[in-house]
Structures are given as structure tokens and as C-alpha cells.
Chains A and B, each alone.
Chain A
């Protein structure tokens, strides 16, 4: 009788010992935020950022430091997460009982979806009355008219090249599609691979080609309707996009399929590939002595009757609806909307970005930056980027279709049918 009892007692004891030793192992861990007292909790503010680069981290920290100086009642902390993990975690993050208070995010469909689910804090009171263009204000507004996003900066896409290489090859920037094709031909004739398109880990780059061709051929209105599912990928207008792209395929670097983005950008930087359709992040990744040599031209005009649209992805902040400290989060959102905050961020990060508040000046003005700013400013319309304007499932359908198209350009009809299927399926669930 006493036997099983004592055995059980002993087991319980050992179990408790195990847990105790586990607890002892974590003695250094800080108490969870939930354990903090009420007053303490409302002072703490956590910013979750996906800027993992050195400059990005420092710039975020600088923002928080400046914010805390002006608002000493709040104690902001920075938490940085690798972008892929960040993207994966954000849905769960926004539904946590103690979520991060502010998060870095971008304008577009996904933010509106979060808002639809009631996950985002209404930032209307933090949104400045002037400084933002109507377009940026619209992009920050959800379906019910609330501001849910505060934009801080944007970058642009273009056909990047190195000035010294273009001089060496004795070629100049093309304006129209025909000039562009002629340029590709000339470059190939000189033994240079004209266009870089590394796909091994960045098949999403194909979306930039699709976006631009569609914008140049069919215009931004059709592009948006297509992405929203109101038009079909089997439409002859989409077939025309692929037909036009087919003219360029012979000029893509044939090794591109096996190259990672970083290898592709290195090859472009070395002048082995002449041009790279990319965002400004391409130039930011080059060594300091190359930066001044980086240049770009606007994606060539195909149909002069179509109003020119450019891709200018807009980045900024959202705040969680479940934050324990909505006043603090809103105060921070108000701060990052100011020209001073945006200038501070750009100065510290050193990235080629344009402040979203039109009252803000670029702290480091380079010819490249001014050229980009002028291009976006003169555009009749601005889009974000394929997945920002739709979502990641739609982007998957696109990459499947377009990577296949690069391999088998003759099967365009089949590919578009399958694309429409994939797209509809992704919309269904």
C-alpha cells in the first residue's frame, strides 16, 4: 500500500525538481510584459521592425530616441525581425493579447485586409492635414474611410545601369520600346549580356516586368482591375503583354535562372549584365565607390497614348488595434509623419528613399535621387507593386506562370489559362 504511494510521491518530487531546474535555467529571462503593472504597461511601447540592415536598425533606433526625448512619458523599444519571418509572424502578432504596438508595413491590399478584420488602430487623428498628396492619403485609408497607415518614405523602380559602362559601350538611354530593343541588340552584338534577371531565390522579380509592361501597354486602370479579379488573365490585352515581353526574352542573361538575387546584382555591378529592372535597393547594395556610378532610366514607353504610371512602393507604419497603449502608439504615428522624423530616418539609414511627406527634404540629395523623384512626380499614376496591390497568393500564381513563360514562350495561351485558374483559386480561399 505504501509502495505505490511513495513511488508516486517520488515521481512528483522528481517532476517538480525537473521543472524547478528548468526555471532556474531561465533565471536570466526578463519577466513577460504581461507581468508588468498597469501603469508600467501604458508607458512601454514596442516597435517591431523588419529593417535588418545596419543602417535601417540605426535609423529606427534614432526615431525612437528622438520620440522618447520629446515624449519622456513613453519608453519605446525596438524589436527587429528578419523580413521573411516578420511577414510570417505579422498575422499572429496582430491578434496577440499583448501585440507589438507599432509595426513597419507597406501600403496596399494587405494593410486594407488587416483593417477589414479590425486589427489596425484608427490613426486618423495622427494623420497630418497637409504634407501628403491625395494619392498617399488614399493609400493610407481603409474601406470605411479611416486612416490606418502612416507613410514615411517610398522608392521607385527603373532600369538600372552603370554610367561608366554605358560610356564604355558607347550607348545611351532609350526612351521608347523600339529604342530599347535596338539597345539590347547593340549590346548583345558587343558581347555583353543586356538584361539581368536572377530568379533562383527571387522569382518575384518577374512581377516587375509584368507590372511595367501591363502599365505601359494597358494602363494603370486595367492593371488594377486585373489584379482585383475584375478582368481575366485570358484577356487578349494580357496576351499582348506576354507577346511584347517575348521580344526581350532573347536578351535576358541565360544564366539568370540559376542565380540568386545577390549573385545577379554582383554580376550587374561588375558590368557583365548591362541593365537590371529593379528598385533603388539595387544601388544601395553596391560598394561605396560604385554608388556614384549607378544610374537608371525610366521603363521605356510602349504606347504614347497610355498615361505614364510608375511603380513607387510606399513604406510606413501601422499600429495594432489591441495595443495596451493607443495614445502612445498614436503619438508615435504622429511623430513619424512629420518632415523632421522622415529626414532623420533617411539621413541615418543612408538608403536611396524619398520622404513621403512632401514638406520633407531629402537630407542627402544625389543626382540619382532627384532623377527618381522627378520621374515619380511627373507620373500620371503610381502603383505599389504586384503583391502590394494584390497579395502574396496572387504573386505566387504570377511567378508560376511567368517562370514557365520564360522557359516556354510559345505556350502563352496555356499559361494564361492556368494563371487565370490559379488566380481564381487563390481568390476563392
Chain B
């Protein structure tokens, strides 16, 4: 009975997974194929048709229409956001997890509660605030806001993770004469590396793919990150689907690189967090 079950199960699993994987990949494949077709071919035959021929022209058009600049903008915004977020969140999480700070539970809950508010609710107030501070329509403003918006969540996750680090290790370090900051830098941070890597790649993706804040806080075409720039390629009535598809494929490359680089941390990091 059990022997039979174990023979059937892998087949069932693999069969099911191939179907699911196929369903996942079809839209992606469609985007890639669309990005390699000419516009006239698409307009004549429609999206769901066999391509007449393939060309890399849409990629050239996408890059010529200023996509480089917008990807650079995206990176100028994303990299500082990820770095600052991780530095601040890990410090705050360490403080909240390992020190008897008054109202630490309340603080944590407040941070979490902030995350439960829909971003749409914050758009106008934040817009007005950034205007008051003179950072409206600037990439610095985007960095400040995106950092602030994400911080609560990252602190919460890292807090849970850091509480899982055995007390004995930090105590031993303290006995050996480490300062509080020394413990953070030499003991806690290295142990938190998997979670930091996982959160870092998440933060990168979220920030890089952000559209809502970008179209709220930025106005100047020259400063727009890649997501609204792609949106801008659409016409009011008619869009060049192939160029947009090519632009999306190009825009996906940085996040894919980050994910591939960090994926081993990603899985272990999230698992450790959940097993706490």
C-alpha cells in the first residue's frame, strides 16, 4: 500500500507541477515572442497568431526611446533605498528584539499597523509633505518615501528573525567585552545574513517595480524610473505592443539578476524566519 503510494506520488507531483509551470510560463513566453515581432505583423494578425518572422528591432526602439535613462533612474532610486532600509531596519530590529526598550511591543505593532494602511490613503498627504520639504519631483524624495514606507515591514521580519538567535551567543560576546554595537556588527549581523539577503532582494524588486509612488511624487520625464516610463510608451488609443513588450523584458533583467544572485539565501532566509 505504502510502496504503491510512494510510486504514484512522484508522478502525480511531477505531472501537476509541469502543468502549473506551463501555465506560469505561457504569459511570459507570449511577452517574449511579442517583443520579437514587428508591429505590422501584430496589427494584421493579432496577438494570438503565429509570428511571420522575428526581429530584434523592438528592443532597439525601446532603448532608443530613452529606456536607458529610466533604468538608470530606477537604480539610482532602488540601490540607496535597499541599503538604507537594511541598515536602519536591522538596527531597529536588533534594538527591539534584544533590548528592554520601553513600549517596544507598541512600536512594533505601530510599524505593522502602518503597513496595513493602503498606500492610496497616503498618496496626497505624502505628496503635500514632500512639497513642504522641497523634495517633491526629486529622486531624493522618492528614496526617502520608499524607505519610510517599507521600513516597518522589514523591521518586523528581522525582529522575528533576530529573536531566534540564541541569547547565549550574544551573552558570551558581551562577557568577552563586546560593546552593544560590537555585538550587532560582529555577531547579530553575520547571523542575520540570510534574512538580510532575502529581504534585500525583496526590497529591490518592490522598489524597482514601484509605479504608484513614482507617478505620484515625480513629474519630470527625465527623472522617471522605468515603470512609468514604460507606461508612457502607451498611446492614448493605440500602443506599439511589441516595443512595450521589449521594454518590459529589458526592465525585468535587473530584478532577475538580483534574484538569481540571492536565491539560495532567499529560500533559506525565509524558512528560518518562519521556523522561529
Assess the B76–A265 pair: CB atoms within 8 A. Answer: no
State how many angstroms separate the Cβ of A153 from the closest Cβ of chain B. Answer: 15
> CB within 8 A of B140: which of A23, A83, A261, A287?
A23
> CB within 8 A of B91: which of A11, A22, A262?
A11
Assess the A79–B221 pair: CB atoms within 8 A. Answer: yes
Interface string of B41-65 (1 = CB under 8 A from A): 0011011000000000000000000
Assess the B127–A29 pair: CB atoms within 8 A. Answer: no
8 A-B contacts, Cβ less than 8 Å apart?
A7-B181, A15-B88, A29-B139, A30-B223, A32-B134, A52-B235, A89-B219, A285-B237
> CB within 8 A of B46: which of A32, A266, A287?
A266
* Closest A residue, CB atoms, query B143: A22
Cβ of B136 under 8 Å from chain A: yes
Assess the A7–B124 pair: CB atoms within 8 A. Answer: no
Interface string of B219-250 (1 = CB under 8 A from A): 11111000010011111111101000000000
* Closest B residue, CB atoms, query A263: B46
C-alpha spacing A285/B234, complex, angstroms: 13
Assess the B232–A80 pair: CB atoms within 8 A. Answer: yes
Assess the A52–B236 pair: CB atoms within 8 A. Answer: yes
Cβ of B84 under 8 Å from chain A: yes
> CB within 8 A of A29: which of B91, B138, B234, B241?
B138
C-alpha spacing A117/B241, complex, angstroms: 39
If A3-B179, A22-B140 touch, whether A281 touches B236 (CB-CB below 8 Å) is yes
Assess the B124–A92 pair: CB atoms within 8 A. Answer: yes
Residues of A within 8 A of B43 (CB): 266, 269, 287
**Which residues 85-143 of B sit at the A interface, judged by CB distance below 8 A?**
87-88, 91, 124, 127, 131, 134-140, 143
Most chain A CB inside 10 Å of its own CB: which residue of B84, B222, B237, B241? B237
> CB within 8 A of B44: which of A15, A83, A266?
A266
* Closest B residue, CB atoms, query A18: B84
Interface size on A, residues (CB 8 A): 51
State how many angstroms separate the Cβ of B247 from the closest Cβ of chain A. Answer: 13
Cβ of A365 under 8 Å from chain B: no
Assess the B238–A29 pair: CB atoms within 8 A. Answer: no
C-alpha spacing A89/B136, complex, angstroms: 13
* Closest B residue, CB atoms, query A49: B221
Residues of B within 8 A of A84 (CB): 231
> CB within 8 A of B87: which of A18, A29, A266, A285?
A18
Assess the A285–B238 pair: CB atoms within 8 A. Answer: yes
Q: How many A-B residue pairs have CB under 8 A?
A: 119
Assess the A82–B231 pair: CB atoms within 8 A. Answer: yes
Cβ of A26 under 8 Å from chain B: yes
Assess the B215–A89 pair: CB atoms within 8 A. Answer: yes
Cβ of A10 under 8 Å from chain B: yes
Assess the B79–A53 pair: CB atoms within 8 A. Answer: no
Residues of A within 8 A of B216 (CB): 89, 92
* Closest B residue, CB atoms, query A279: B237
Cβ of B83 under 8 Å from chain A: yes
Residues of B within 8 A of A93 (CB): 219
> CB within 8 A of A30: which of B134, B136, B215, B222?
B222
> CB within 8 A of A281: which of B84, B131, B237?
B237
* Closest A residue, CB atoms, query B231: A82
> CB within 8 A of A262: which of B40, B44, B228, B239?
B239
If A79-B219, A285-B237 touch, whether A28 touches B46 (CB-CB below 8 Å) is no
* Closest A residue, CB atoms, query B65: A54
C-alpha spacing A267/B236, complex, angstroms: 19
Assess the A50–B143 pair: CB atoms within 8 A. Answer: no
C-alpha spacing A92/B219, complex, angstroms: 11
Interchain residue pairs A-B with the least CB separation, the first 6? A285-B238, A22-B80, A25-B80, A83-B236, A82-B232, A18-B84
